[in-house]
Amino acid sequence: MRRNLPIPVTISLDTIQALLPEIDVFDTISQGFIAYSKGEAVIPPVGELLFERPPGEVHIKYGYIKTAPYYVIKVASGFYQNPNIGLPSSQGLNLLFDKSNGQLVAILLDEGHLTDVRTAVAGAIASRALAPQKVQQLGIIGAGIQAHLQWEYHRRILDFNEVILWNRHIEKAQQLAETLQQQGASVKVVTNLQDLAKDCRLIVSTTPSTTPLLQKNWIQPGTHITAIGADMPHKVELDPQLVGAADIVVVDSRAQTQRQGEWSQALRAGLVTGREPLELGEILENPGLGRAHDQQITVADLTGVAVQDLMISQAIFDNIN
């Protein structure tokens, strides 16, 4: 006779949003990156689905940390025309399982919010680890959900005086600027991306671009760039020559960025032959591996690793029990 099994906890988006302020998301995600880089995580290759009509994509990420009690399966989608029909572009859920017996313990109906948050947190962590000591302007490329969240999480752990925004569609950049101004930010919108690169020593790129946006000859000495948009093989935000010329390149996963991300584009172009990037977990555990002086150009290439989904899902579940 089959015995009755525990019913998994269903956690709504409202509950997730209420619990997030109780979690030290920066430490939680940092510890996940450190465990990953120490070889303590099992993270298989990302599953992907692409759609054309309408354009969209689905990412399936999953894995576990050997010493943790759970494993995670995350499904997150991006359908970028959704705002035109009154829907958010991001959707998804996280499934948390007991690693000792395979039982589903929690269904996190986050509607993609946890993916958005853990991505923004990782971006801010990378910027804090690699940015020059003094940052006056934070440059943000893009004007969507992730652009807003990158500002939100960067301001929690970094000091800067002004935000400079650029987006292909200027009206969307202006809309985001108005929102950030209402939340207390000093914001300037530029129509020329080169102007942003000239003025900012910390740049965060958040777009699903399939052609390079930031060019090598625009970047000033001492600039750090955190690029989070190239999470699939066909996406690219940075000129591969910029990646090849950077003094330090940090990735979230060396294995994953062989196939996708800014590093993979430079690799295919033959611009980083014989060179290996650092992993974010390595410089979090050993900060001496990071920026040596304020004239270096540094790049963080973040493609998103399931250990982030595991750590944030586990933290939510632990705080509800």
The token duo for 155 is 């301001």
**232/210 Cα distance (integer angstroms):** 10
In a domain, 3, yes or no: no
| Same structural domain, 286 and 189 | yes
In a domain, 182, yes or no: yes
State pLDDT tens for residues 275-284: 999 999 999 9
Three-class SS of residue 306? Answer: helix
- As a whole number, the mean pLDDT across the chain is 95
In a domain, 221, yes or no: yes
**53/89 Cα distance (integer angstroms):** 15
Structural domain total, the chain: 2
**34/32 Cα distance (integer angstroms):** 5
In a domain, 269, yes or no: yes
- The helix or strand, by DSSP H or E, that contains position 90, with its residue range, turns out to be strand 90-98
Whole-number pLDDT of residue 5:
60
User: 273 — phi, psi (to 5°)?
Assistant: -60, 130
| Same structural domain, 284 and 190 | yes
**77/99 Cα distance (integer angstroms):** 25
Give the structural domain span for 175: 120-305
Whole-number pLDDT of residue 78:
87
Report, as an integer, the average pLDDT of 237-262: 97
- The helix or strand, by DSSP H or E, that contains position 41, with its residue range, turns out to be strand 41-42
CATH of the domain at 31: 3.30.1780.10
Q: What is the pTM of this model?
A: 0.94
CATH of the domain at 281: 3.40.50.720
| Same structural domain, 272 and 182 | yes
| Same structural domain, 86 and 163 | no
| Same structural domain, 124 and 144 | yes
Q: 65 pLDDT band (50/70/90 cuts)?
A: very high
Three-class SS of residue 172? Answer: helix
What DSSP state is assigned to residue 218? G
Q: Is the pLDDT of residue 90 over 90?
A: no
Whole-number pLDDT of residue 80:
83
In a domain, 138, yes or no: yes
In a domain, 256, yes or no: yes
Place of tokens 């990646």: 243
| Same structural domain, 209 and 63 | no
State pLDDT tens for residues 147-167: 999 999 999 999 999 999 999
Which amino acid, 31?
Answer: Q
What DSSP state is assigned to residue 134? -
| Same structural domain, 316 and 289 | no
Report, as an integer, the average pLDDT of 234-258: 97
| Same structural domain, 71 and 172 | no
In a domain, 87, yes or no: yes
| Same structural domain, 159 and 258 | yes
- The helix or strand, by DSSP H or E, that contains position 196, with its residue range, turns out to be helix 193-199
Determine the longest span between alpha carbons in the chain, in angstroms: 70
| Same structural domain, 314 and 286 | no
Whole-number pLDDT of residue 129:
97
| Same structural domain, 138 and 239 | yes
Report, as an integer, the average pLDDT of 188-198: 97
In a domain, 1, yes or no: no
- Exposure pattern of 106-127 as b/e (b: 16+ CB <10 Å)? bebebbbbbbbbbbbbbbbbbb
| Same structural domain, 260 and 131 | yes
Q: 321 pLDDT band (50/70/90 cuts)?
A: low
Q: Is the pLDDT of residue 1 over 50?
A: no
